[in-house]
Structure 1
Amino acid sequence: MLTPDQQLAMVAQAARAPSAHNIQPARWHFAGDRILLLEDPARWLSVGDPTGRDNQIALGMAWEGMALALSTIGISLSPPETEALPYPPPAAGLRVAASGQLRPGASADSLAAAPDHRRAWRGTFARADAAQFAAMDQCIAAHAGVAMVAELASTAQFAKWHDDAAAAAFHDPAFARELFYWLRLSPRAAGWARDGLSAECMALSRWEAMAASVALRPTVVRVLAALSLTGVLAGDGAKVNSAARIVLIHAARDVTDFEVGRRWYRFWLDMASRGIAGVPMSALADSPRHAALLTECQALPAGHRLVNVMRFGPVAGVAIPRSARLPASELLQADGPR
């Protein structure tokens, strides 16, 4: 149904969907009017994501990204037929995460252009004006099924909890090793143009990146943890406090992580289409203790669970870097899974 060039273009656009540490687990296979979304188990954070929740969310975002891309060439993507994938993966090799049908006759989705504008901004936000506050609140209200605004008075507390949760995570040596593996702190780093967390996307100056390349080495982190000094590695308080809105990403308990990813991505893209940047504060949601503190402070809708926390705001006078991606030719699989 699609030419090889069209397939590559669709895959490249779908690949703009985010993933934890920018590991990019999604792979694609086209078979006539059918499409398979595959997971590469080698791109899974066994320490940071032991249950596979983050990968499932990333795969859901990738699926939604593909649906948006296909809509630009008049093709709709059927609702996904998802597979229940166990973690840890029982075997190496690609495995089917979801599949669906390609159907002609679609109109371009209103968010189809947004993936090119979405960025994760880890720096300090500019002060929002009344119109920007209104745009954020309208967007949050439009996506109430997955997003709710936190009370502005809680921002300082959230900033402290976020730093505390991030510092606590470094006490796990395996977590520190896994994170360091995916850091790209210099253009000379292997994978700088392909994947991982680059210094520029983390809003680090040249000197900050050089310092981080030493301070975040697992051996150094181990010493800092022994001295209860990991707090020096988690100093985002000022950046969090600059946010115009803190948003809780949530979902009903019976909604799959894959489906959460689809809904969350549309919300984030809608924010981007309104000129608002954002970034997840995953340390808060990943720490059971801090997630509990947060949900005691900010009650979620009945029967819902906390998925993540994001901070949003405008960015002025700065070109937000675009995160690296693997070539589409590597993400497109000529053969299906075996």
Structure 2
Amino acid sequence: MRELLRHRLLWPVVVLVLLLLLNVIYNNGFLSIQVKDGHLYGNLIDILRFGAPLILVAIGMTLVIATGGIDLSVGSVVAIAGAMACLRISDLGDQGAVGGVLGAIGVALVLCLVLGAANGVLVAAIGVQPIVATLILMVAGRGLAQLITDGQIITVNSPPYKLFGGGYWLTLPFGIIVVAVVVVLTALLTRRLALGLLIESVGGNAEASRLVGIRSRGLTIMVYTFCALCAGIAGLIISSNVSSADGNNAGLWIELDAILAVVIGGTSLMGGRFSLTGTVLGALVIQTLTTTIYSIGVPPETTLLFKALVVTLVCLAQSPAFRAKVFHRRRRRPPAPAPSDEIDEKVSVAT
């Protein structure tokens, strides 16, 4: 029982279940899933569909944090990917051409890879602090996205591109399938191979890892590049879902939700061990919380405060030190013997 209470995934699962129960109280049919026109519909499907971009960004963020770093630029990369893809598609003579749409997606993802590699070089090769290196792209990236869109919202009318974030395949939203593929591939590469152990080694002690022959610089550049790739895919899903690109608002503050999802999932911000399953659960908790806020009628002006309070409670519940102080009483020390008792004890020993 104690091992279960100490498990890192227990509290995210408990909070997720409580949020779902709260929604059921306000709406009896909240958990119902229906099939319409061969597609699955329901609140649970919506949570997965709208939470897909956050899961992707959080997965990339998990590997970055596992190396002891942080990436604040993922929100800007989300906006850049959507802007570049929509710009290329809008320039096509036939926006329904699959080849042209795939080419636009490819250009957007390559640009994201370059930006992620630039972050990795600044951190690993030049030695810039991760929060500073990624803050540069966080600020400049929004300007780049605005430059790509010329300060306007680019709209497209492309059925193939619409499929990527707003379409369905095998009865499921296509975005959920994309997320599932990314999560499975990431889990296979990091848990079935030695890659995950190497990343944890770099996060635990980068200098010691270098001394034993691990190429910590290459691994650091790789995880920042992968994080940008995940953010780029998330940007494509977001822009595809609304068939437009907004360089100013797309992916705004998603980096903070991604960091929260990683922390809720049990990964330490100090680096080292990480949990992909915990990150997915953390992202689902945040998305379910967002859905709950709207479904139970929380006033819009208090939405962020309500969200912050719930996340704070989750983090406190996960803290072993906090639980020890609240739920476990300190053992009382035995009372000190009275002076007369000490004299009697000495007399008895002497006799």
Q: Do both proteins adopt the same fold according to a TM-score greater than 0.5, normalized to the shorter chain?
A: no
Q: Which TM-score applies when normalising by structure 1?
A: 0.22
Instruction: Report 1 or 2 for greater relative contact order, CA contacts < 8 Å, sequence distance ≥ 6.
Output: 2
Higher helix share: 2
Higher strand share: 1
Q: Which TM-score applies when normalising by structure 2?
A: 0.21
- Specify the structure having the higher radius of gyration (Cα): 2
